[in-house]
Copies of this chain bind each other. A is one copy, B any other.
């Protein structure tokens, strides 16, 4: 319940000054969310750390949710850009090379932007935005795989895309667990498993 600011009117920044401020606010919010999580983070602290007043923050983001949404959106766009670059570059890669790039790219992104996963998964409710992001990521990976094996049907490619992303997620999660023994070995084994699977299902078994 609650939904004051009923109109939901965020003043969108008109000049460069406003846009810079918004960027700064989002950066700060990212830091705070990353440290404290969505629920524990407070608007007051975000504003203070950004050197702004609460009022100022509320001008652009009438709700804490909207801060999170905007931030998530920005993260998503960055991610999409990188994925598009990968799709383009992946035209003439082998499955092995493919993983060699996808792996670090995704893991890097997650560890560079810790607030991303926090907002994407720690948000309550159905998390519509997060679902859309996942769906789109799937289409990117699927596109990459399609370039590898254009003759495969879409269902199979989709299956593999889901699988690849899921294993990536696991791999990224490994970095989060602080006490985990043999992190590196587990990671490389995971990669090997996935690679074998891809080669088996993409290149062999052609006729099925």
Contacts and interface: CB of A to CB of B under 8 A. Distances in A.
A190 B194 CA distance: 9
Interface in A177-199: 177-182, 185-186, 189-190, 192-194, 196-197
A119 to B, nearest CB: 14
A186 B180 CA distance: 26
Report copies per complex.
Answer: 2
A163 B40 CA distance: 32
A15 to B, nearest CB: 38
Given A122-B122, A134-B177, A182-B155, A166 B193 contact: no
A169 B170 contact: yes
A91 interface: no
A192 to B, nearest CB: 8
Interface in A143-187: 155, 158-159, 162-163, 166-167, 169-170, 173-174, 177-182, 185-186
A124 interface: yes
Contacts of A122: 122
Contacts of A169: 170, 173
Contacts of A114: none
**Size range of the interface on A?**
35 or more
Interface string A64-97: 0000000000000000000000000000000000
Contacts of A39: 37, 39-40
A182 B166 CA distance: 12
Interface of A: 36-37, 39-40, 122, 124, 126, 131, 134-135, 155, 158-159, 162-163, 166-167, 169-170, 173-174, 177-182, 185-186, 189-190, 192-194, 196-197
8 contacts: A131-B179, A134-B179, A162-B180, A162-B181, A167-B170, A192-B197, A193-B193, A193-B197
Given A36-B124, A193-B197, 11 more contacts: A37-B39, A39-B39, A134-B177, A155-B182, A163-B186, A163-B189, A166-B170, A166-B190, A169-B173, A170-B170, A189-B197
